[in-house]
Structure 1
């Protein structure tokens, strides 16, 4: 079943604040990340645990936060961009904390996510992003991180190719369309 993403505001005439846009982006990013984690399973890649599946979801979320930061570069002033990305990351933090707690029980799950986001932000800073989208190296890094999470098992040895060639690119296309729609 195809993932349906609503990315148009109900009342187009009403102005939206950057935190409102960030909240919508976080919800959309969560849905895309979950869809991509499910797709890996559908493609016969094997998760050993729910924690591992949640880690893959978090990697996609970090990737999509990086995408939004790059996309907002040309359309927002630096302070507005910082406001958007900070609010977006905070809402994603809430999604990670709430959903992981529902699945795994009480604990601090948002803190480690923010640490992952901070670490990956420095790593992704080295990769190119232009009007065509993320570079090969950008997508390869996402694939590498997910491959590392999935482990070296025989079933998962090609996960990097799946992420680089299909899932990562599809996540970017879906998210970038929603991003543009929310700013119209």
Structure 2
């Protein structure tokens, strides 16, 4: 089933705040990350429980926040870029907290996500990103982290290849297109 993402503003002539753009990006990122986690299951990779599936979704979200930062670098000055990415990360945090509470029960689930985001931000900063998209090492790191989360048992031993060669690229392409669509008429 194809993932449909609404990434055009209903009134393209109305100016949007960075917070509105951040909210739209967070919703789109959540949908893409969820879709990629579902796709792994469809490709016969095995999750042991909902907590593991949520951790994979969070790993994709961290990756997409890094992608957004790289894409914003080309479009925005440093202050607006920082505001957008901070707002985006806060909105993603809200999605993680709400969905984790629904799946796992009450708790400070978003705090673990922020820890992961902070750790990965330094790691991803080491990898390149060009006009063609993320570098192979950047995608390999995403695949490595998802492999680590899912385990290296017989059923999941090739998940790193799936993420590096297909799912990571697909997440990037969808997010890149949505990001460009939201900024199409320079709404902010």
Match of 2:70 in 1: 70
Any idea what SS the aligned residue of 2:52 has?
helix
Task: Give 1:7 shift.
Answer: 0.2
Mapping for residues 6-155 of structure 1, pairs under 5 Å: 6-155=6-155
Structure 1 vs Structure 2 CA RMSD: 0.3
Cα separation, 2, equivalents of 1:149 and 1:103: 18
- Which blocks of at least 5 consecutive residues in structure 2 are unaligned? none
SS in 2 for 1:11: coil
Per-residue CA distance 1:15-43 (angstroms, 9 max, x = gap) = 00111000000000000000000000000
**2:152, 2:165 → 1: CA distance?**
19
Displacement, 1:114? 0.4
**C-alpha distance in 2 between matches for 1:74 and 1:91:** 22
Task: Tell me the distance in 1 between the aligned counterparts of 2:56 and 2:100.
Answer: 12
Q: Distance in 2 between matches of 1:114 and 1:105?
A: 18
| Cα distance between partner residues in 1 of 2:74 and 2:132 | 14
Partners of 1:183 and 1:18 in 2: how far apart? 11
TM-score, length-scaled by structure 2? 0.97
SS at match of 2:75: coil
CA distance in 1, matches of 2:152, 2:123: 22
Correspondence list, 1:168-183, <5 A: 168-183=168-183
1:74: Cα distance to partner? 1.3
The Cα of 1:127 is off from its aligned counterpart by: 0.2
Q: Unpaired runs of 5+ in structure 1? A: none
CA distance in 1, matches of 2:96, 2:67: 18
Number of equivalent positions: 184
Q: Which runs of 4+ in 1 moved over 2 A?
A: none
Give the Cα separation in 1 of the matches to 2:103 and 2:113: 16
